[in-house]
Structure 1
Amino acid sequence: MDSQHTSRRSILALAVATPLTVGALASCGSSGPGAAKAGEATIWYLSGAPQETIRQNAVDAFNKANPDGKLAVTLFQNDAYKTKIKTAIGANQAPTIIWTWGGGGLKSYADAGQVEDLTSWFAENADLKSKLFETAFAAGSVGDKIYAMPCETVSPIVLFTNKAVFKQVGVSEPTTWEEIMELVPKFNAAGIAPFSLGGQSRWTNMMWLEFMFDRVGGPEVFEAVFNGEADAWSNPASLQALKMIQDLVKANGFINGFQSITADSNADQALLYTGKAAMMLHGAWTYGSMKSDGGDFVSKGDLGYMNFPSVAGGKGDPTNSVGNPSSYLAISSKATDEQKTIAKKYFKDGLLTDAENEAWIASGSVPIVNGIDSKLGASDDAEWLKFVYDTAANAGNFAQSWDQALSPTAAEELLNNIEQLFGLAITPEQFATNMNAVIGK
């Protein structure tokens, strides 16, 4: 994932332009901010409200309960963090606990021997592992080994609808891909765009491919790409999914000029809640901004939401989801035994506590904790939060966003080719050829 994609994820809110040191930060000296006082471990977190406060409060509570084994926190703005962590790891000056998005970035750390293998530790702490969504572990693993602790919240990609527009046109919400294609001409005839899309941002288009690959061919199709199998993008299911996406583009399924609309400005969301578009495929993190910016759109019940519809004859489980299955924390293999012990204690006792979970729920998010749905009823957004919980907890497979799962090189090539695919500048076959060339890079 590169910097221009950060605003879509609630966990990646940006706040300051330089690192911000807070709490019981160790004196850095000449060894840099990865260093710690005796009896302390270090953790680097991302800044930005409200997540920053929730993270800091969790560390403060842990430190109060563990005065002889504290965590020293350094907060970084997103882009600054990505640069700093690469430099620190390369110089063997990483913090004890490393924030990671999992996927391709974590794999590079694991392949280089820079992060601790936590597989046996999770086996010894089976009660902790069973507490968390099972689907959260895939992106924190490399092969059959766990290298990162899943934490915080889940954000699936969701198909949103404007119920008032559906009522106006006299049609029902789709349950299959075939019904989606039947709705397209009906909405166009009514002067309403079938789908809003911030296509200039590119990663918004990617969400369509993620679901189409899954619904047509199942999660194995992209897993073959992630595992570096030669010509994996040329799978017949891949080519079929790519063609179906272009069929939707050719049928004017997306709002006119979608390639000049940005998601970072929330313009795509505005098209949905103002009734200029009937549907939008987007992340769960957009719910809060539609609630705050869309007038009474959410409060009066005009916002609909569902998991992505099935495809006739498709191999994918209709319960499968894609998006952000979790956030992740890894432990530096270069940390001392004392620091590793503090980190593991924080993983077990300091994360996803009752107090932290309540704070995440109050922020409009769903913690990755089995049974947390029993705590959601008191929220004003209870129905929405329950939907997010059910989508994540019951997913047959929860795939990580592709631009996070792949290496930075492959992710950038992917986004470039997706832009051309949606612009009808390349064929599905050309897309596959271009992407096959960067498999494993």
Structure 2
Amino acid sequence: MMPSRPSKSRPRTLARRAVTSLAALSVAALLASCAGGSGSAGSGAGDAVTLWGITSDQEETVDPSVADWNAAHPDAQLEATYFEGEAYKSKIRTAIGAGAGPSVIYNKGGGTLQSYVDADKVLDLSDALGDDLDRFLPFALDPVTFDGAVYAVPMKAVAPVVLYVNEDVMDAAGVESPETWDELLVAVEKLNAAGVAPFALAGAAKWPELMWLEYLADRIGGPEVFDAILAGEADAWSHPAIIQANEMIQDLVEAGGFADGFASVTTDSSADAALLYTGKAAMLLQGTWVNNTFREQAPEFAENSLGYLPFPTVDGGTGDPANIVGNPTSYFSVSADATEAQQAVAIDYLKTGLWDEPFVDRLIEANQVPPLADIDDTIADLPDAAFGETVYQMISDAPNFQMSWDQALEPGQAQEMLTNLDRLFNLQITPEEFSTNMNATL
């Protein structure tokens, strides 16, 4: 279980600025005009208020929310369309570029949203939502805040990365759950001697490898290491913390830290999670979404043998051990190409419809942790309350919640990073070569 930590807080200051005439118009008046206004070249046909999202993110939570909204607003209907992840990425880029995107745009914040902001394709929601933004934990708005303005609203659960442990396998090998990197290396040696893979890793997907670099770089050098990369500082990828982290990763690979054939293990059907709950691996570094996979595919294991803990500390590192990495959440933005009437309906939905009590209840029933402040009592109602309370404590107390680097960076640089990181894990390039290759993308 996660050790308790003292409560921490950090202030959030949002500069309020209007970038459209929307703030000066009455939402009620715009809602009235929505039923009979003129058509628009963007955001769908006519004055339809369209919402695009991802199938996997909508089924249990957002889709019922849209249905509730439509039942209560016969003259301000939302038309929701959902896509598979990869199909959505290409479709939304094309649509937004042509000024024909949906009124409500699903995104993950970070570099992709920054490109929309730079192209004036999404609205600054700071004034329109005002104090309603204060309902969210501060970290949830960080990936969608640019120059003090907020361009999106959270629309799903929070998902930090944790270290999962098969406690039965660890006990049989006489291994304690590692709290430090040195203890982790000792555990690797003992588990290999016992004939068990220390860590499961879905290397074929590449992005699970990134979790190791993110945590190690933070533990060694703190969040300012990636901040410099994000700012595009010259040679930022050559920071000693990045090079040391990648040296430690390759040391772990060479020590047999990952299951044989990890480079071909996929996340399809949760193959990495299966290695853990079948006892073929002892540990797994993955996002909190995997907890539901364990509960669905191996309920007895989840109930009796599953443990979870924070990423280990690194001796001599300057990063706060309470820092976490992962996916703060996903988001909805409002299209700047939509008509004022469409924008008004979209904003009113995000303000009053999305995060209503039934929506929060659906997240809780789905065993997901909302990125909302002061909901300790609500978290206790999760089906797996112990896990939920642990995660909520993590995200509430973390001095820094680093968004996954492949989401924070602009898409081209993110893909280059994953390609080079995969080559690093497969011992095809050195840590120095990784840094050189990535500095060329700055």
TM over 0.5: yes
* CA distance in structure 1 between the aligned counterparts of 2:280 and 2:96, rounded to whole angstroms: 48
Mark the CA change 1:120 to 1:31 in structure 2 (over 3 Å): closer, same or farther.
Answer: closer
Aligned partners of 2:326 and 2:402 also within 8 Å: yes
* CA distance in structure 2 between the aligned counterparts of 1:165 and 1:80, rounded to whole angstroms: 39
Deviations 1:327-365 (A, max 9, x none): 111111122222222222111111121111111111121
Normalising by structure 1, we get a TM-score of 0.87
Deviates more, 1:56-65 or 1:341-350: 56-65
Mark the CA change 1:206 to 1:160 in structure 2 (over 3 Å): closer, same or farther.
Answer: same
- Letter of the 2:50 partner, please give it: T
Instruction: State the shift of 1:117 in Å.
Output: 1.6
Which of 102, 115, 122 is the equivalent residue of 1:115? 122
- Letter of the 1:237 partner, please give it: A
Please state if 1:386 is matched with 2:389: yes
Aligned partners of 1:352 and 1:367 also within 8 Å: no
Mark the CA change 1:53 to 1:272 in structure 2 (over 3 Å): closer, same or farther.
Answer: closer
Deviations 1:411-431 (A, max 9, x none): 111111111111111111100
Deviates more, 1:257-266 or 1:273-282: 257-266
- Letter of the 1:244 partner, please give it: M
Please state if 1:224 is matched with 2:228: yes
Give the structure 2 partner of residue 87 of structure 1: 94
* CA distance in structure 2 between the aligned counterparts of 1:350 and 1:313, rounded to whole angstroms: 48
- How do 1:182-197 residues align onto structure 2 when only pairs under 5 Å count? 182-197=186-201
Aligned partners of 1:98 and 1:332 also within 8 Å: yes
Which of 298, 316, 325 is the equivalent residue of 2:302? 298
- The SS at the match of 2:165 is strand
- The SS at the match of 2:259 is coil
Aligned partners of 2:180 and 2:315 also within 8 Å: yes
Aligned partners of 2:215 and 2:311 also within 8 Å: yes
* CA distance in structure 2 between the aligned counterparts of 1:30 and 1:319, rounded to whole angstroms: 48
Normalising by structure 2, we get a TM-score of 0.87
Give the structure 1 partner of residue 184 of structure 2: 180
* CA distance in structure 2 between the aligned counterparts of 1:183 and 1:30, rounded to whole angstroms: 61
Give the structure 2 partner of residue 415 of structure 1: 418
* CA distance in structure 1 between the aligned counterparts of 2:40 and 2:389, rounded to whole angstroms: 49
- The SS at the match of 2:302 is coil
Instruction: State the shift of 1:32 in Å.
Output: 7.8
Please state if 1:63 is matched with 2:70: yes
Instruction: State the shift of 1:79 in Å.
Output: 2.6
Instruction: State the shift of 1:60 in Å.
Output: 2.2
Instruction: State the shift of 1:63 in Å.
Output: 2.8
Contiguous gaps of at least 5 residues in structure 1: 1-24
Give the structure 1 partner of residue 216 of structure 2: 212
Number of corresponding residues:
409
* CA distance in structure 1 between the aligned counterparts of 2:137 and 2:227, rounded to whole angstroms: 20
Which of structures 1 and 2 has the larger relative contact order (alpha carbons within 8 angstroms, sep 6+)?
2
- The SS at the match of 1:241 is helix
- The SS at the match of 2:269 is coil
* CA distance in structure 1 between the aligned counterparts of 2:385 and 2:313, rounded to whole angstroms: 26
Give the structure 2 partner of residue 20 of structure 1: none
* CA distance in structure 2 between the aligned counterparts of 1:349 and 1:170, rounded to whole angstroms: 53
- Letter of the 1:47 partner, please give it: T
- The SS at the match of 2:418 is helix
- Letter of the 1:298 partner, please give it: A
Please state if 1:367 is matched with 2:377: no
- Letter of the 1:167 partner, please give it: D
* CA distance in structure 2 between the aligned counterparts of 1:167 and 1:110, rounded to whole angstroms: 51
- How do 1:3-402 residues align onto structure 2 when only pairs under 5 Å count? 34-37=44-47, 40-48=48-56, 51-122=58-129, 125-126=130-131, 128-299=132-303, 301-402=304-405
Deviates more, 1:334-343 or 1:107-116: 334-343
* CA distance in structure 2 between the aligned counterparts of 1:380 and 1:61, rounded to whole angstroms: 24
> Identity percentage over the alignment?
46
- Letter of the 2:105 partner, please give it: I
- Letter of the 2:169 partner, please give it: V
Give the structure 2 partner of residue 9 of structure 1: none
- The SS at the match of 1:305 is strand
- The SS at the match of 2:282 is strand
Deviates more, 1:155-164 or 1:144-153: 144-153
Aligned partners of 1:331 and 1:343 also within 8 Å: yes
* CA distance in structure 2 between the aligned counterparts of 1:212 and 1:54, rounded to whole angstroms: 34
Instruction: State the shift of 1:324 in Å.
Output: 0.9
Instruction: State the shift of 1:170 in Å.
Output: 2.0
- Letter of the 1:198 partner, please give it: A
* CA distance in structure 2 between the aligned counterparts of 1:429 and 1:272, rounded to whole angstroms: 32
Deviations 1:67-86 (A, max 9, x none): 34332222223233222222
* CA distance in structure 1 between the aligned counterparts of 2:46 and 2:389, rounded to whole angstroms: 41
Instruction: State the shift of 1:272 in Å.
Output: 0.9
* CA distance in structure 2 between the aligned counterparts of 1:378 and 1:360, rounded to whole angstroms: 11
Instruction: State the shift of 1:389 in Å.
Output: 1.5
- Letter of the 1:150 partner, please give it: P
Runs of 4+ in 1 over 6 A off after TM superposition: none
Mark the CA change 1:163 to 1:370 in structure 2 (over 3 Å): closer, same or farther.
Answer: same
Aligned partners of 1:140 and 1:150 also within 8 Å: no
Instruction: State the shift of 1:282 in Å.
Output: 0.7
* CA distance in structure 1 between the aligned counterparts of 2:188 and 2:85, rounded to whole angstroms: 38
- The SS at the match of 1:83 is helix
Aligned partners of 1:36 and 1:42 also within 8 Å: no
